[in-house]
Amino acid sequence: MFEEYFSYVMTEHRGKAIGVALGLLASVLFISFGFWRTLFIALCILVGYQVGKKIDQQVDLELWIKGLFKK
């Protein structure tokens, strides 16, 4: 029963379900750690995502990082 409902929600309402889960996670982090620590966690997640994305795209990370800090 639960598996069918979960499957339905994830196929028909995927964006809403993910949004609710992320909102719940953000609220727990804000209450537990405070605004600035939660913001730092989000920044670390974003940097990790970007690095992982570049690895998946087989981009030379050394050149990519040098390009970030180039004037």
Looking at residue 35, its pLDDT comes to 92
Reported as a single tens digit per residue, the pLDDT across 5-35 is 888 888 888 888 888 888 999 999 999 999 9
Q: Is the pLDDT of residue 40 over 90?
A: yes
Q: How far apart are CA 22 and CA 16, in angstroms?
A: 10
In whole angstroms, give the CA distance from residue 62 to residue 71: 16
8 Å CB contact between 50 and 65: no
Q: Which residue has the higher pLDDT, 39 or 65?
A: 39
pLDDT at 24: 92
What average pLDDT does this structure show over 43-64? 85
CB 68 within 8 A of CB 60: no
Domain ranges of the chain: 1-33, 34-71
Provide the token pair at 24: 């719940």
